[in-house]
Amino acid sequence: MNAIIYVFSGTGNTMRICSLYQEEFERQGVATTLYPVRSDMSDLPDPNAFDHVGFAYPIHAFNAPKIMLTLAKKLKPVSGKAFFILKSSGEPLKINNVSSLRFVGILKKKGYVFKSEYHYVMPYNMIFRHTDREAVKMWETAKALCPIEAREVLCGAEHKLPRVFLGRLFAWLLRIEQIAMRVNGRFFRVKADKCVLCRKCEKACPVGNIRIDEKGRFSFGKNCLMCARCSFFCPTDAFKIGILNGWRVNGAYPLEGGESKELPTQENKHEWYCKKAYARYFAAAKEKIEKHSGDL
């Protein structure tokens, strides 16, 4: 048995989730390939060569990123191939459930069968910075939950997220983000007094939108996805990201080491934000984890 997960991951949250699935799949004897999605899709693996097929992405404005829609259009037609979806976002709002509608619609027309989808809350890479304790809690929850749900996928369990009233219309309206971000990406700027020309941003951009010439001058194209990989991982915080600069988050979260690690006490300036939704998410996750605690 084998499996593939086509993964688009901006700053690594979605890839972390997929790595947990890969670990559990392989623990269950299923050889698993994680295929990183970039703009060059000339080497796309054939889904027909795999027993289990998954797609994973971070939610962008309550939609799948444009690059995932392009992927869906490029994949070969199949006959009745089941697939699952893994997605991540910084907040557990129900409106995130609509993010897969367009993506699923494209694949269904090609003969794919939508089987299940799972949504995981991971720390923001834009909008605002979660506290380290919040970020670790999200990651520790995912580490306990993903193996359970990975086994559900392997068993062929159907898992659909609840529909949202007017969700399809809402998702369609917010798809304007895909055009707006291409425009906004052209207004990125790099502070010359901070940049050390490490070129990490140029090498990491999944769509090749950043160019640095021999004199160290930056130019930005029209293909930006606003994945935030360049600004988030900039070692000197040199980026300005256009009209969204007020939402810029810089620097990786200290996720590894778990809840046992000493973490600084930080003021939570956004404690009010989606407070009930976070509480429901963690309560539901805890209930499921405890229910399956003897399965491993």
In terms of Cα–Cα distance, which of 7, 29, 72, 82 is closest to 52?
Answer: 82
Q: Report the pLDDT value the prediction gives residue 269, as an integer from 0 to 100.
A: 85
Residue range 176-247, CATH number: 3.30.70.20
> What's the rounded Cα separation, in Å, for the pair 46 and 167?
32
Q: Report the pLDDT value the prediction gives residue 165, as an integer from 0 to 100.
A: 85
Q: Report the pLDDT value the prediction gives residue 123, as an integer from 0 to 100.
A: 97
The pLDDT tens digits along the chain (296 residues) read: 999 999 999 999 999 999 999 999 999 999 999 999 999 999 999 999 999 999 999 999 999 999 999 999 999 899 999 999 999 999 999 999 999 999 999 999 999 999 999 999 999 999 999 999 999 999 999 999 999 999 999 999 999 999 888 888 888 888 899 999 999 999 999 999 999 999 999 999 999 999 999 999 999 999 999 999 999 999 999 999 999 999 999 999 998 865 556 777 778 888 899 999 999 999 999 999 999 877 65
Q: Report the pLDDT value the prediction gives residue 258, as an integer from 0 to 100.
A: 59
Q: Are 244 and 117 in contact (CB under 8 A)?
A: no
Q: Report the pLDDT value the prediction gives residue 228, as an integer from 0 to 100.
A: 94
- Position 101, amino acid: L
> What's the rounded Cα separation, in Å, for the pair 253 and 188?
23
> What's the rounded Cα separation, in Å, for the pair 114 and 197?
44
Q: How far is CA 269 from the centre of its chain?
A: 24
Burial of 283 (0-12, 13-18, 19+ CB in 10 A): exposed
Q: Report the pLDDT value the prediction gives residue 127, as an integer from 0 to 100.
A: 94
CATH topology assigned to domain 2-172+277-291: Rossmann fold (3.40.50)
> What's the rounded Cα separation, in Å, for the pair 226 and 180?
10
Q: Report the pLDDT value the prediction gives residue 126, as an integer from 0 to 100.
A: 93
pTM exceeds 0.85, yes or no: yes
Q: Report the pLDDT value the prediction gives residue 118, as an integer from 0 to 100.
A: 98
The residues spanned by each domain of the chain are 2-172+277-291, 176-247
- Edge to edge, what strands does the sheet with 52-58 contain? 31-36, 2-7, 52-58, 81-89, 112-121
State pLDDT tens for residues 257-293.
655 567 777 788 888 999 999 999 999 999 999 998 7
